Structure 1
Amino acid sequence: MTETLRIEALGAQGDGVAKTVAGPVYIPFALPGETVKAQVSGQRGTLVEVEEASEQRAEPPCRHFGACGGCAVQHLDLQAYAEWKRGKVDRALQSRGLEAEVAPLVTCPPASRRRLAFTARAMGQRVLLGFNAMQSHRIVDVEECPVSDPHVVAALPDLRRLAGLLAATPKSFRLMVTATRPGLDIAAEGAGRLHEKRRQQAVAFALAKGYARLSLDGEVLVEREKPTVLHGEVPVNLPPGGFLQAVAAAEEAMVGLVAAHLNGARHVADLFAGSGTFALWLAGGMRVHAVEGDAAALAALEAARTTPGLKPVTTERRDLFHRPLTAKELNTFDGIVFDPPRAGAEDQCRRIARSTVRRVAAVSCNPGTLARDLAILIEGGYRLTRVVPIDQFLWSPHVEVVALLEGPGKRG
């Protein structure tokens, strides 16, 4: 039924939250301070009309906003948006009883995201390429994307044609597109098994459009030139579909915070090192031991570590979730940076908490698991000195965080 509601807060996913006698109701695209009409079912509401608009309401820059589920809060002005993301980090820390001043959000500009995961699907003669609608598997076919690198946006019509050549299944599949120095790196997953003729057509199309590489389920179909990105001044050849920080400026901000914290260290460990986001930057001034479980990412790092001018970078392939470094192993380092997946680094932090490492930099894309991990370190004697939220998923609920800690050193 339709109800008139007063929006009291902005929820963690960007929904407006109204308090009712039956409990909170979450209404996408509504803002705090607004009076709205909404179609309510249980705890969810669909916005029908804004009767009294918030001063924080802004004009969304994208024609697809509201249908496309890629962005949640384009309708929120940037100052309020930055405070909302900062508040997410603050609340995560408070939920674990941690007191720390959270710095203002390090923002990222539009048109800066270099890595995007599109969803594609062939439907007869029509090919959809875009993002899923909010809380749905329905694909919103996009013609623009204001968060994306302009090279990716300009290529959308051709990427849609390529998706049609790759589609050997009626089901939806993923097309990961990364803007690299020599051109777009395109990795398709779940598109089905290509017949030879379609494979040749896809390869010819990729070459004609100047793409750096085209791969399908990890198999390289064609590579015109190695898809390279820079970690600092070090060129790295990415593996197909490999992880990369989504925005180069955000990566630089994170590395800058970590490098300043570890400045003066002689030998540091980079845990969950990936293809060397932190290791290769840090190796400009200190020895680094990089630990990573993914073989392809580690191979990319190992190939790049021979770049002239770097301090020695040693590597170790190791699943840190099942076999974290022990306190004894960690004690050989005077600094640590770790950047785990969303699940965090709980077991590894328990070992760090028992070590003598003086400086630790924790990087996370999940404030909740980061707060849990920080609580473990603080209980072990570490002191939280700085917390900085960093935006690289513009207008989405996601936020990166860099937390810096100092340890007690020698333990009795």
Structure 2
Amino acid sequence: MSDLIVRVAARGEGVTADGRHAAFAAPGDTLTPENIVLPGPHQQAPPCRHFPQCGGCQLQHLDDESYAAFLTDRITGALAAQGVAAPIRPPALSPPRTRRRAALQAESKGGAVTLGFSEGASHNIVDLRDCWILTPALFAVIAPLRKLLARVLKGRARIHLTEIDQGVDVLIEGKIADGLAAIEAVTAFCLANQIARLAIDDGIGPETRWEPDGVTITLGGVAVPFPAGSFLQATREGEGALVAAVKEAVGGATVCADLFAGLGTFALSLPGKVYAAEAGRDVVLALQAGAARAGRAVFAEHRDLFRRPLTAAECDRFHAIILDPPRAGAKEQISQLAASNVPIIAYVSCNPSSFARDTDILCKGGYTLDWVQPVGQFRWSTHVELAGRFRRT
């Protein structure tokens, strides 16, 4: 007897009502007793020739409706595991070819270089000749970068590509050849491909090799200096959806705190006075410089919120607090927020599980989760982002 695929599990496999799993199955597909997947109405032909070998995407076989349902189900399931329910809004999906940052792997063997994403659960690299998630500007750099690395790369490296205001920022984490020929090759590559900056990190920190003009990223209308390898929301569309959700959540609050502020994605988009806390020293300095140059009322502090979270009393000084912690969540800071009287908390998360855990703490402290906005900016991956609004009741 055949079974219907009813949902997609966290790792991307289809699941039947009785718990059978099948790789690359979509809701509405049929799984036969021989474990053969018969395509249904939500199964689509994957557009990229590297799928499913390439680890950059896991869900290209899903149409937009089932991909959006996957994002919603991940959040709903995580909250339900903590005994919490809340309205989940329709996900904001970033279109194909909009990823403006990516970390690729490169390996030099016998004078040839393989450059691309790793295979899933493997160190093998898929040599990227096609990509449906990177912006055209980033993908255009791949082929010439492969030629450069064939001349200068020693062994294996991690390559960070980011599209910023001045063009493409390239950070190579690995060892490259010394000498005049290598310097000339790097310079020629940068000139020919409108590279904004190229830096090398061989283990002691990034060293800039090319930067004709100071590089920036515009956030909230402010050009902020961009330290090499810094975090940036993956797509402009995803950033826009998260910023819109945060601004809606805080409403007319004019004295806000932005915790885990990064370069100021949210702090620079808010009206009034903003306190911004961030543990990365270079990032704080960049935010301070951008805000000062633009005349924004943003006070940025270098502060490790895991070791030294804002106390409940400190939190009470603000009309609203925004936080965007790493995947592990912010349990230490959340505990202080749960004991505070802050009227509104806007929580941006890249991990439904840690968000749900922190939600449980806040709800037990007297907050209500009003709504959650899912954001799918890592197109066709199992990665889920979201923004939620908590209100003191």
- TM beyond 0.5: yes
- Give the equivalent residue in structure 1 for 2:31: 35
Q: Does 1:222 align with 2:210?
A: yes
CA displacement at 1:13 relative to structure 2: 1.4
After superposition, the Cα gap between the structure-2 partners of 1:235 and 1:221, relative to the gap in structure 1 and judged at 3 Å, is: same
Query: What is the DSSP-based 3-state SS (H/G/I as helix, E as strand, rest coil) of the residue aligned with 1:205?
Result: helix
Query: What is the DSSP-based 3-state SS (H/G/I as helix, E as strand, rest coil) of the residue aligned with 1:85?
Result: helix
Instruction: Give the share of equivalent positions with the same residue, in percent.
Output: 39
Write the distance in 2 (CA, Å) between the matches of 1:117 and 1:182.
19
Query: What is the DSSP-based 3-state SS (H/G/I as helix, E as strand, rest coil) of the residue aligned with 1:110?
Result: coil
Q: Does 1:286 align with 2:272?
A: yes
CA displacement at 1:78 relative to structure 2: 1.1
What is the one-letter code of the residue matched to 2:163? A
Q: Is the 8 A contact 1:203 1:214 kept in 2?
A: no
Q: Does 1:192 align with 2:182?
A: no
Q: Is the 8 A contact 1:166 1:199 kept in 2?
A: no
Query: What is the DSSP-based 3-state SS (H/G/I as helix, E as strand, rest coil) of the residue aligned with 1:138?
Result: coil
After superposition, the Cα gap between the structure-2 partners of 1:36 and 1:68, relative to the gap in structure 1 and judged at 3 Å, is: farther
CA displacement at 1:8 relative to structure 2: 5.3
1:33-57 deviations in Å (ceiling 9; x for gaps): 322587xxxxxxxx8x54x222211
- Give the equivalent residue in structure 1 for 2:342: 357
- Give the equivalent residue in structure 2 for 1:15: 13
CA displacement at 1:148 relative to structure 2: 1.1
After superposition, the Cα gap between the structure-2 partners of 1:402 and 1:29, relative to the gap in structure 1 and judged at 3 Å, is: same
After superposition, the Cα gap between the structure-2 partners of 1:37 and 1:196, relative to the gap in structure 1 and judged at 3 Å, is: farther
Query: What is the DSSP-based 3-state SS (H/G/I as helix, E as strand, rest coil) of the residue aligned with 1:375?
Result: helix
After superposition, the Cα gap between the structure-2 partners of 1:26 and 1:200, relative to the gap in structure 1 and judged at 3 Å, is: farther
1:156-199 deviations in Å (ceiling 9; x for gaps): 2112123334412x2x321010111211000111x225413324
- Aligned pairs, number: 386
Q: Does 1:380 align with 2:369?
A: no
Write the distance in 2 (CA, Å) between the matches of 1:334 and 1:193.
50
- Give the equivalent residue in structure 2 for 1:405: 390
Q: Is the 8 A contact 2:26 2:66 kept in 1?
A: no
The equivalences for 1:291-302 within 5 A come to 291-302=277-288
Q: Is the 8 A contact 2:222 2:294 kept in 1?
A: no
- Give the equivalent residue in structure 2 for 1:41: none
Question: Which of structure 1's runs of 4+ aligned residues deviate more than 6 A?
Answer: none
Write the distance in 2 (CA, Å) between the matches of 1:19 and 1:89.
19
Structure 1 residues not aligned, in runs of 5+: 39-46
Q: Is the 8 A contact 2:7 2:70 kept in 1?
A: no
Write the distance in 2 (CA, Å) between the matches of 1:325 and 1:309.
26
- Give the equivalent residue in structure 2 for 1:236: 224
Q: Is the 8 A contact 1:67 1:134 kept in 2?
A: yes
CA displacement at 1:354 relative to structure 2: 0.9
What is the one-letter code of the residue matched to 2:41? E
1:291-319 deviations in Å (ceiling 9; x for gaps): 00001111110110024353x11111111
After superposition, the Cα gap between the structure-2 partners of 1:318 and 1:132, relative to the gap in structure 1 and judged at 3 Å, is: same
- Give the equivalent residue in structure 2 for 1:345: 330
What is the one-letter code of the residue matched to 1:34? T
In the superposition, the TM-score normalised over structure 1's length comes to 0.89
- Give the equivalent residue in structure 2 for 1:211: 195
In the superposition, the TM-score normalised over structure 2's length comes to 0.93
Q: Does 1:268 align with 2:266?
A: no
Write the distance in 2 (CA, Å) between the matches of 1:56 and 1:333.
46
CA displacement at 1:17 relative to structure 2: 3.3
Write the distance in 1 (CA, Å) between the matches of 2:378 and 2:94.
8
Q: Is the 8 A contact 1:214 1:223 kept in 2?
A: yes
CA displacement at 1:208 relative to structure 2: 3.4
CA displacement at 1:266 relative to structure 2: 2.0
Give the alignment's Cα RMSD to 1 decimal: 1.9
